[in-house]
Structure 1
Amino acid sequence: MSEAKVQKEAAEEFGSYEVKFEGLEDGYRVTVRGDKEKVKSQRRVGASFINFLRQVEKAGWPIPFPFRLLLKFWGNYNTKGVKGA
């Protein structure tokens, strides 16, 4: 994987998290760093919510717009996989 050329960069700390925003030649990259155990816990909660939304969709219940968008994004994110792995 080739290293992208960073044109602009900004970093900010929010409590125990560090957020880094980079402007690349062909797009943007956002990096969030924080306490590893807390991030794992939040990922589990997020994954549980996504699974709940999938079950609601299968049941045929209406899902509000922002959650439909989240479900679509998550589906695309999971199907594309990791490049170079």
Structure 2
Amino acid sequence: MVMSNQHVVPHSRGWAVKGAGNSRETSVHSTQKDAIDAGRNIAINQKSELVIHRSNGKIRDKNSYGNDPFPPRDKK
């Protein structure tokens, strides 16, 4: 299985979940929270990364659900 990072991005109908490199959205949601929840489920299943974007397109947050080659050193 090819692991594709999942991106939560702004969409004309709200927010979309889109696999990295895909031309089409995986799903479209009315709220960013719903899109994040859907993207998180996909990322967990694929053991990939979830990248959450702001409405201006800039990255807001990233969460890794796979084998992270560079795990965080800070203790939250």
TM more than 0.5: no
Please, what TM-score do these two structures have when normalized by structure 2? 0.24
Return the structure number with greater helix share. Answer: 1
> Taking CA–CA contacts closer than 8 Å with sequence separation of 6 or more, which of the two structures ends up with the larger relative contact order?
2
Q: TM-score, normalised by structure 1?
A: 0.23
